[in-house]
Structure 1
Amino acid sequence: MQRSQHLGGLAMAEFLAHPKVVGLAGFGPCLVAACYLDRASGTYPYCKAHIQRLRISREKPGFNEAVWRRTERAVCSTREVSLRGLPDRLVAEILYALSSRVDNGYKLRPECLRPLYDRLRAQQTGRLEEVTDPEGAGYGREHATMIRAAQLALARLNATPETERVKDVWDMTVFGHVGVVPFTAITQKPLREAMKIWVYDDLPRRRNKNAVHHARGIIAAVAMLSESLRLQRPDRGEVPAAWGRGDIVAYCNRMGHLTATGQQSASRRLAYTRFVRRVLVRFRTLGLTGPGGVLEGVPVDFAIWPEDMPDEPEDAEAGRDLPEAVMRVLCENLDRLEELSSTETRVATELLIDTGRRPDEICSLAWDCLESDPDGSPVLVYDNHKAYRLGRRLPIGGETAEVIRRQQQRVRDRFPTTVPARLKLLPQLRTNPEGTKPITDIATAHRKWVASLPDFAVPVITTEAGARVTHLVPFDRARIFPYAYRHCYAQRHADAGVHPDVLKELMDHRLISTTQGYYRVGAERRREAVDRVTALQFDRHGNRVWRAAQSLLDSEHVRRAIGEVATPYGVCREPSNVAAGGHACPLRFRCLGCEHFSTDVSYLPDLQAHLADLLRNRERLMSAFEADDWARTQAMPSQEEIDRVRRLIDRVSSDLDQLTAEDRAQIEQAVTLVRRSRTVHLGMPRIGQPLPDVRPPRNHQP
């Protein structure tokens, strides 16, 4: 402030330069700890705003001005948040938490931070860890979330694997993973400490995203053993040296009881028993049962032997693929999924349907995941996190490639300044300013979408009064989940006749037995389908055989299994050729001229493809194709063979046309099941044969 004596009518510049014009000292800062303003006068030690607040606060009973000074909030200022009045330790924690929050892509809003810090000041909090129950202490949901995130960031500040391994709940971020692994379900301390050692030893060998899931599964299995020890033993299982064979028997019986009463599935019982057996063996190899170990004195018979293992549960169903009617409804309602969730969720679902990849493989796709083979065919580049196989290449169709191109353009429009190599194809909508974070889960949005759709109805065939009748029954929505599309992908290709070895590569499996589990049919359904197609069986002349057969006897099913061998367009029953596994035929794929050959309606697509090949080859040989006469003569398809194939196709098609619409639908369904169960490639080898287009149709593209 400035004060002057009366100096007459001086101009402003002369007034300021006059030697009698001097500056006077201020009244000092406001005594409210959070305030950054100066006092308004020498009468009150507060700024003007806090003088007004003081007058109001004094009217409250039990008012303490000293406490009020320490806890009163600062004067609100645009885009500013005051940390004055907070302990130095708390200020440092807040600043580090804010830095961590910014690094994670969150935006900082002063209108949200200001009331949080005012409450911390009002409660005289010294450290963030003192706030044990944010919501119970009166903090709102958003503030409680921020406090918990800050506490987590502070806990990770100096955490190392060595400090984390002694805790009962591990933060797996310290080990380079995501999530937590709790050991609290294991009540016996020696067993819990042994499991910590086991998991700590096993983690380096788990290089993919499933490391945390695997550790939780193992711990859950050992927790079942811990529960059995607690319930069965008088000492509640606290003394490892007292464990023995009887405890293993009790555990196995308890697992059987839980399965019999429906509290757990047979597959989980088998998996948990395998886990426990493996862990108990590893305890010994790690030296935990020896002198000085945490399980010192555990008897040798405290182990699960091979004869203790439960039987492998029968897989009576062919994977978890969805019926065609269900897939049709889902594809027709993809627009609704986009309305309920986001474009990214819709695109992720489309790619799951079209490519059959695992959900995490689709969610983590890079922006530049679309490439081309030398012939220009589009290829999807993805990472198989489960098997730790990076840079995998999957052939895809043009429509699927167009879905990816449109999504790439949307991402570039949204994040124009980010380097493409850092972008994700499906970036998450929030806390992602640069587009480098992918969406992590679509299951919740997918479940809401499925629940919003009308009832699904699928055809089911029943027998009424000796006749087969088709009924529409509701389909269980619980079977519609993102991973089911992988089973559908495998099933569609199997139905289209893709060779199992090729399908194994498409599914990116190491073992063909794993692939077969995605599309095989149960024996009962396969037998019913064989019964149906057998009723439409023909010999090489097109004559109907077994016309009166309603179903095959058990002995006939066995005979068909061991007394015939697959040929390109049917089966062969010539004994010597069957005994040689199909490698002793002197006719060399001239099956249509052999009396031991027969076919049925399920081979109609193969016969039609064979006729097309014969006509195509004949036209090529009759054109300007350079070859010796003897080679041209032997390679030229005969007119008799062409007529035989045509006659056989016409005969099979004619019998199909005579069926009623319902019988024809049942036959077509049976043909699909029979062709699905074939695990051999019928026909001459073909080099470079393109994959069939099995992409479900869409009514609209985003």
Structure 2
Amino acid sequence: MQGCERSRLTIAGRLCNAHRVQHTKVGLRTLTLEEFLGHPSVTGLVRFGSCEVAACYLDRTARTPPYCKAHLNRFYRARNVPGFDEAHWRRTDKAICTTREASLRGLPDQLVAELLFGLWVRTRQGFRSRPECLRQLYDRLRLHQVQELAEVTDPAAHGHSREQVTMIRAWQRELQLLHMTPETERLKDRWDMVVFGLSGHISFAPILQEPLREAMKIWVYDDLPRRRNKNAVQHARAVIAAVGMLSESLRVQRADHGRVPAAWGRSDILAFTNRMGYFTSTGQITPRRRLAFTRYARRVLLRFRTLGLTAPGRLLAGMPVDFAILPEDMPDEPEDTEAGRDLPDEVMRALCAHLDELETMSSTEIRVATELLIDTGRRPDEINTLPLNCLEQDPDGSDILVYDNHKAYRLGRRLPIGTETAATIRRQQQRVRARFPAVDPARLRLLPRPKVNPEGTKPLAEISSYHRAWVKSLPDLLVPVVVSADDARLTQLVPFDKTRIFPYAYRHCYAQRHADAGVPVDVLKELMDHRLVHTTMGYYRVGEERRREAVDRVTALQFDRHGNRVWRTAQNLLDSEHVRRAIGEVTVPYGVCREPSNVAAGGHACPLRFRCLGCEHYSTDVSYLPDLQAHLADLLRSRERLMSAFEADDWARAQAMPAAEEIQRVRRLIDRVSGDLDNLTAEDRAKIDQAVAVVRRTRTVHLGMPRVGQPLPDVRPVRTLP
């Protein structure tokens, strides 16, 4: 009733317990509720006070016992238990929740602040916290009288559910980061790299000598800002491992275990390099790892001096000058016998044919990410983090993919893509806009994370696990392999090693397809977004054995300038002939030249430049057929333009006009090469096509023959639509 401070018995009721009893007395019992509330003897009553259970916010129903109605019932039940402690029960009993609320009453102020901070971080990260889960969590913390979250060392042992354990661990982690700074972290022997804006940890435990370990901390702290990509932690770990091996060498080789930097010398460097050689010979480390670790150790020792760590009073004071790895101490570069990590065409066709199964096993975003990896050759993190508005068009209407090269810290890179790839991106854009219609498109990702992402602003984390499971579920992928049996070479179909199929391999496939299509290496370097041509060439190199086999097959279909086939009696080229092909000829447009003076000048001393088809020193083979066909198209196109209404003097027109003899010679040469190919069996034709691809991908010389500009070839593998 109005003016009464005591709580009513029920939510629907209007009377407290005292007024209900008064309403039942003789003389007032016959009055209606409205008449009772207006009676002069009915006045408001003062409240008894709050329930003394720490977690409760309700009013008590009587002066004693000092509890609300619900806790009064609990009290009557709990006091019958032997050893009942009423004071402890008041501090730890649960709150009475009438709605979907979670009470923090009865918890220490420090713990309340930590819980609210953790809940704020969790909400900011896109997680949804269920009130019933939070209520149980708070009640258990109150039951165990926890003062701060750091005391909960084993949440599962306290009876917390899996969801609550996850929340507690995450909140403890956020509280740790709240008080950590790079300046304090750099003093530890184990760094939490989240403080530096990265992920993971770095341990300096492999470095045994304290001066060397402290100097290495300074080196890593100095080197990290120059590593602006996600591989910074892995690189630092590798360098620490290399210096750790140097540290171990000092420990086992020196009587003082290498604790005194001033006592180090040239003999310790020799011991380290010999130790690395021994590990390589016994197979404990690979030759490539030996070279990398030696390089790291050499660079670190040099950097110690430039950082001034060897000056008097510094960590490495007195370190001798001869304690350095010299250029002659470096091991030889191991030979690269790999044929690259590209996948055979048969494997790529099979993968593209099973993309629907990948979508069924994972999600549409995983499938689209895989398609873009195949089509564009970008790194997985470059595709996963694409913004929604990643598709633009050049003035001529060509589609352009705009992405960020995180590895080299090159933002806003532009990659030409095909129409089908652009259509895939546009379909994904429509799906994302339909899923998040109220979010600003500038904040959305093209491939949003499917969970814990209410606004679509978080990108895919990774697709490797889904991709690996998908590849394992596929049937055996058969590829042709040439084997020798009874002095004969046969082609057999064998299962492909599925461990070689991973997302980054698609980048090698992209480079291989463009190299096979005749894209010059300088153009391919730009497509791959590499700084050095040497890096690009590593993506489509082939082994010498495979190259020799391809040259043998291509040379069997060799022609002179008249289109006459140069028949060979030997099945394979001799070793001397392979060498002669390397040093006794030079690549010219549409073939090779064997004129000695021109070969010596690298192809720049020919008076018949760009007229090779009229020279006796010129020859070609089947691998140049695409170039010959393109040259014929250029000649015919130039002739048509000059014969049309092209304003030019007669003498200039006559000199620029392609000779009819040259056109006839090119046509005859193309007809002879194509005719010989048509006469081959299907199996032999497949072997020749494979050999041509190998030879063309290793041919990087481009002499600058004037050509009409051509668009990039469409090398997108065929697949089904999502």
TM above 0.5: yes
How big is the shift at 1:400? 0.8
Correspondence 1:437 to 2:458: yes
What secondary structure, in the 3-state scheme, does the structure 1 residue paired with 2:484 have?
strand
Closer, same or farther: CA 414–548 of 1 in aligned 2, 3 Å: same
Cα displacement string for residues 446-474 of structure 1 (whole angstroms, at most 9, x for unaligned residues):
21221221122211112222322111222
Unaligned runs of 5+ in 2: 1-15
What secondary structure, in the 3-state scheme, does the structure 2 residue paired with 1:80 have?
coil
Match of 1:331 in 2: 352
Find 1:147's aligned residue among 168, 174, 190. 168
Closer, same or farther: CA 288–634 of 1 in aligned 2, 3 Å: closer
Closer, same or farther: CA 494–8 of 1 in aligned 2, 3 Å: closer
Find 2:493's aligned residue among 459, 467, 472. 472
Unaligned runs of 5+ in 1: none
Which whole-Å CA distance do the structure 1 matches of 2:243 and 2:464 have between them?
29
Correspondence 1:561 to 2:598: no
Which whole-Å CA distance do the structure 1 matches of 2:508 and 2:111 have between them?
53
Closer, same or farther: CA 8–104 of 1 in aligned 2, 3 Å: closer
Which whole-Å CA distance do the structure 2 matches of 1:66 and 1:384 have between them?
63
Counterpart amino acid of residue 553 in structure 1:
L
How big is the shift at 1:322? 1.0
Match of 1:460 in 2: 481
Correspondence 1:449 to 2:470: yes
Counterpart amino acid of residue 53 in structure 2:
V
What secondary structure, in the 3-state scheme, does the structure 2 residue paired with 1:544 have?
coil
How big is the shift at 1:221? 2.4
CA contact (8 A) 1:90 1:128 kept: yes
Find 1:609's aligned residue among 602, 626, 630. 630
Closer, same or farther: CA 18–264 of 1 in aligned 2, 3 Å: farther
Counterpart amino acid of residue 278 in structure 1:
R
Which whole-Å CA distance do the structure 1 matches of 2:319 and 2:564 have between them?
74
Aligned ranges for residues 243-258 of structure 1 at < 5 Å? 243-258=264-279
Match of 1:117 in 2: 138
Find 2:335's aligned residue among 311, 314, 318. 314
Match of 2:371 in 1: 350
Counterpart amino acid of residue 193 in structure 1:
E
Cα displacement string for residues 537-596 of structure 1 (whole angstroms, at most 9, x for unaligned residues):
111122221421322222222222222221211111122322332233333322222211
Match of 2:118 in 1: 97
Which whole-Å CA distance do the structure 2 matches of 1:133 and 1:302 have between them?
49
Match of 1:417 in 2: 438
How big is the shift at 1:14? 5.0
How big is the shift at 1:692? 0.5
Find 1:360's aligned residue among 373, 381, 387. 381
What secondary structure, in the 3-state scheme, does the structure 2 residue paired with 1:545 have?
coil
Match of 1:696 in 2: 717
Which whole-Å CA distance do the structure 2 matches of 1:229 and 1:140 have between them?
50
CA contact (8 A) 2:634 2:707 kept: no
Correspondence 1:668 to 2:668: no
Correspondence 1:394 to 2:415: yes
Which whole-Å CA distance do the structure 2 matches of 1:622 and 1:61 have between them?
114
Aligned ranges for residues 282-681 of structure 1 at < 5 Å? 282-681=303-702
Find 2:104's aligned residue among 58, 61, 83. 83
Which whole-Å CA distance do the structure 2 matches of 1:235 and 1:453 have between them?
59
Match of 2:4 in 1: none
How big is the shift at 1:136? 4.9
Counterpart amino acid of residue 694 in structure 2:
L
Match of 1:266 in 2: 287
How big is the shift at 1:510? 1.1
What secondary structure, in the 3-state scheme, does the structure 1 residue paired with 2:489 have?
strand
Closer, same or farther: CA 320–697 of 1 in aligned 2, 3 Å: same
Which whole-Å CA distance do the structure 2 matches of 1:12 and 1:115 have between them?
41
Moved more, 606-615 or 47-56: 47-56
Which whole-Å CA distance do the structure 2 matches of 1:234 and 1:122 have between them?
59
TM-score of the pair, normalised by structure 2: 0.91
Cα displacement string for residues 259-310 of structure 1 (whole angstroms, at most 9, x for unaligned residues):
3343433222221221122112222332333333333444444332323222
Aligned ranges for residues 123-162 of structure 1 at < 5 Å? 123-162=144-183
Which whole-Å CA distance do the structure 1 matches of 2:701 and 2:142 have between them?
75
Cα displacement string for residues 182-220 of structure 1 (whole angstroms, at most 9, x for unaligned residues):
333434433332222211122222233333332222223
How big is the shift at 1:690? 0.7
Aligned ranges for residues 221-232 of structure 1 at < 5 Å? 221-232=242-253
Closer, same or farther: CA 339–61 of 1 in aligned 2, 3 Å: farther
What secondary structure, in the 3-state scheme, does the structure 2 residue paired with 1:85 have?
coil
Cα displacement string for residues 124-150 of structure 1 (whole angstroms, at most 9, x for unaligned residues):
211111222334554343222211211
Which whole-Å CA distance do the structure 1 matches of 2:109 and 2:59 have between them?
22
How big is the shift at 1:414? 1.6
CA contact (8 A) 1:569 1:683 kept: no
Match of 2:234 in 1: 213
Which whole-Å CA distance do the structure 2 matches of 1:525 and 1:276 have between them?
36
What secondary structure, in the 3-state scheme, does the structure 2 residue paired with 1:409 have?
helix
CA contact (8 A) 2:342 2:506 kept: yes
Match of 2:12 in 1: none
Closer, same or farther: CA 296–630 of 1 in aligned 2, 3 Å: closer
What secondary structure, in the 3-state scheme, does the structure 1 residue paired with 2:374 have?
helix
Counterpart amino acid of residue 51 in structure 2:
C
Which whole-Å CA distance do the structure 1 matches of 2:293 and 2:32 have between them?
95
How big is the shift at 1:354? 0.9
What secondary structure, in the 3-state scheme, does the structure 1 residue paired with 2:90 have?
helix
How big is the shift at 1:12? 4.5
Which whole-Å CA distance do the structure 2 matches of 1:697 and 1:479 have between them?
21
Closer, same or farther: CA 234–41 of 1 in aligned 2, 3 Å: farther
Match of 2:9 in 1: none
Counterpart amino acid of residue 684 in structure 1:
M
Which whole-Å CA distance do the structure 2 matches of 1:177 and 1:340 have between them?
31
Closer, same or farther: CA 13–46 of 1 in aligned 2, 3 Å: closer
RMSD: 2.5
Which whole-Å CA distance do the structure 2 matches of 1:260 and 1:111 have between them?
62
CA contact (8 A) 1:267 1:313 kept: yes
Closer, same or farther: CA 419–604 of 1 in aligned 2, 3 Å: same
Which whole-Å CA distance do the structure 2 matches of 1:270 and 1:16 have between them?
95
Closer, same or farther: CA 456–265 of 1 in aligned 2, 3 Å: farther
How big is the shift at 1:673? 0.6
Counterpart amino acid of residue 675 in structure 2:
S
Which whole-Å CA distance do the structure 2 matches of 1:672 and 1:200 have between them?
47
Closer, same or farther: CA 493–419 of 1 in aligned 2, 3 Å: same
How big is the shift at 1:329? 1.3
Moved more, 144-153 or 44-53: 44-53
Counterpart amino acid of residue 92 in structure 1:
A
Cα displacement string for residues 622-653 of structure 1 (whole angstroms, at most 9, x for unaligned residues):
44444443344333334433332222222222
How big is the shift at 1:9? 5.8
CA contact (8 A) 1:290 1:296 kept: yes
What secondary structure, in the 3-state scheme, does the structure 1 residue paired with 2:155 have?
coil
Which whole-Å CA distance do the structure 2 matches of 1:452 and 1:624 have between them?
63
TM-score of the pair, normalised by structure 1: 0.93
Match of 1:71 in 2: 92
Counterpart amino acid of residue 660 in structure 1:
T
How big is the shift at 1:506? 0.8
Which whole-Å CA distance do the structure 2 matches of 1:478 and 1:621 have between them?
56
CA contact (8 A) 2:634 2:708 kept: no
Counterpart amino acid of residue 393 in structure 1:
R
Which whole-Å CA distance do the structure 2 matches of 1:141 and 1:252 have between them?
51
How big is the shift at 1:508? 1.0
Counterpart amino acid of residue 515 in structure 2:
A
Cα displacement string for residues 310-344 of structure 1 (whole angstroms, at most 9, x for unaligned residues):
22111112321111111111111112222222222
How big is the shift at 1:671? 0.9
